[in-house]
Structure 1
Amino acid sequence: MQIHTVSAQEWEAARQQLLVKEKAMTRARDALAAERRRMPWLAVEKEYKFEGPNGEASLRDLFEGRHQLIVYRAFYEPGVFGWPDHACRGCSMVADQVAHVAHLNARDTTLVFASRAPQPDIARLKKRMGWEMIPWITVTDSFDADFGVDEWHGTNVFFRDGNKIYRTYFINNRGDEQMGGTWNYLDITPLGRQEVWEDSPEGYPQTPTYKWWNWHDSYVEGAAPDKRWVEVSDAGEAAFRKQSAGTKG
């Protein structure tokens, strides 16, 4: 391994040069997410049935009353390497990266993992691996084949408008590598992060940046943002903007 050492001034100059490209990439990522929010939707006409910890469930049930649903097809079933002690290694790495789902829930979004393993095996795996917070259901019909995840992993996104359900997005292969973080999940949903800075179609729900953030055990539906947190986040945002204004790119 070759090591190239420089002075502190040279190191900072190199960092600033790279930062210009990194900011361009961030802006491009935001623009791509804005395009996703304008993608056409595909109506889901077929009824699907799953098995959950409380028995039979429909696709509509998986939303848990929310408008957005993200379903990751995880391979844990007979025939998968590691069965029955482990799920697929790649799918397990995805599960290990999932942030606390309370933050997604606070943005009207439910995350669910889906496999063909029976519920008792899923419950045992979740407990052993520390994945108890991830809702994990059993596929019992053609759901995986119908949505492109019968042979390989993938993430489907759905939106519920009353009793109508729509498929809004799908990502797989290396696209799934970035999944796990709250922001990356929200960026593939039709409503996005739902913050005022986003380029979203007119009428989409948006709230002030940072203000909805909370500790994962402290979200209360419909509660106003904590006044102290509003003050702290306002000060932080002002500092970020001042710093950004003085940075090239």
Structure 2
Amino acid sequence: MTSNEQIAQMKKPPVVSAEEWQKAWQEMLVKEKEHTRARDALAAARRRMPWLAVEKEYIFEGPQGKVSLLDLFEGRRQLVLYRAFYDSNVHGWPDHACVGCSLGADQVSHLSHLHARDTTLAYASRGSQENIATLKPLMGWEKIPWYTITDSFDKDFGVDEWHGHNVFFRDENNKLFRTYYINNRGDEAMGTVWNYLDATPLGRQEDWEDSPEGYPKTPRYKWWRWHDAYGKKDAKWESVVDSATVTLNL
């Protein structure tokens, strides 16, 4: 905890009137909106990145045995696969995974929202399924699919020495493509539904997004549900959205 002495030595900002504070906040809000627009533009550029075909077969170990990279999609169109360091040479083994990777896992939001956008999130490590099965309930990560790397996947996709999110797409012929890659400080922002979707080729799939021609889109907000209510019609919520859309500012 920060001590009173440390706080006392801080060079603090000026204390101003309510009117001055409001003016300063309005000025900062302009910058924040610029940041939001820039983030949206970055996501739009990601959706136009070229794709890399995955030609090699990769095998993982899952709770039920051997599975392929295609299996990790769980039938969905997109896969965000995070390489987490839970290996025998990592600090904390076998009771804990890497401290940084664990912090990231603690940030992961409810996966039902990603699934509603045809997107799967999964983790992969070198640790055995036996150890992973012990780790997940201990740390509260039961809902994260977590696989064991058995071949050169981590080296081939730049995550053998450091963590990272690889994004994959499954086309109409079940052919797989690598579409994006986030690592280093980019990983610290991951965990929310929006940052995961913004890293995918299809994005959030809402009607306001700048996406290439033919990409799937639905009306903004209307697809949202409580995490236990996806797949159910909610006419009341959709009417709330219809009445509020004119006042909402993207």
Whether 1:199 and 2:207 are equivalent positions in the alignment is no
1:166 to 164, 171, 177: 177
Partner residue in 2 for 1:85: 95
Q: Read off the aligned partner of 1:95 and give its amino acid letter.
A: A
Which amino acid in 2 is paired with 1:237? T
- Of the three residues 54, 58, 66, the one matched with 2:76 is 66
Q: Distance in 2 between matches of 1:207 and 1:69?
A: 20
Amino acid at match of 1:203: G
- What corresponds to 1:229 in structure 2? 237
Paired position in structure 1 for 2:156: 146
Listed as ranges, the matches of 1:1-249 within 5 Å are 1=10, 2-161=12-171, 162-220=173-231, 223=232, 225-241=233-249
User: What's the Cα RMSD here?
Assistant: 1.1
Q: Which consecutive unaligned segments of at least 5 residues does structure 2 have? A: 1-9
Query: 1:42 corresponds to which letter in structure 2?
Result: L
2: CA distance between counterparts of 1:217 and 1:59?
28
User: Structure 2 length as normaliser, TM-score?
Assistant: 0.93
Q: Secondary structure at the match of 1:236?
A: helix
Q: Secondary structure of 1:155's partner?
A: strand
State how far apart, in whole Å, the 2-side matches of 1:240 and 1:133 are: 33
Give the letter for the 1:204 counterpart.
Answer: Y
Give a deviation string over 1:11-56, Cα, whole Å, max 9, x none: 1100000000110110011011000001100000000000001111
SS in 2 for 1:98: coil
> 1:236 and 1:57 mapped to 2: Cα distance?
45
1:157 alignment partner, SS class: strand
Q: What's the TM-score, normalizing by structure 1?
A: 0.94
- Counterparts of 2:243 and 2:143, CA distance in 1: 33
Tell me, in whole angstroms, the C-alpha distance in 2 between the residues paired with 1:215 and 1:140. Answer: 37
State the distance in 2 between where 1:201 and 1:166 align.
17
Q: Distance in 1 between matches of 2:110 and 2:201?
A: 20
For residues 207-248 of structure 1, the C-alpha deviation after alignment (integer angstroms, 9 at most, x for no partner) is: 00000001111111xx5x41100111223322224xx8xxxx
Q: Distance in 1 between matches of 2:243 and 2:31?
A: 27
Identity of aligned residues (%): 69
Per-residue CA deviations over 1:160-188 (Å, capped at 9, x if unaligned) read 01220000000100010100000000000
Q: CA deviation at 1:96?
A: 0.2
Residue type at the aligned position of 2:223: W
Q: Could you tell me how far apart the structure 2 residues matched to 1:36 and 1:13 are?
A: 35
Stretch of structure 1 that moved more, 225-234 or 155-164: 225-234
Q: Deviations over 1:86-124 (max 9, x none)?
A: 000000000000000110000000000000100011011
Structure 2 distance, partners of 1:11, 1:79, is 51
**Which residue number corresponds to residue 247 of structure 1?**
none
Length, aligned pairs only? 239
In structure 1, list runs of 5 or more residues that go unmatched. 245-249
Q: What CA distance in whole angstroms lies between the structure 1 residues aligned with 2:53 and 2:166? A: 13
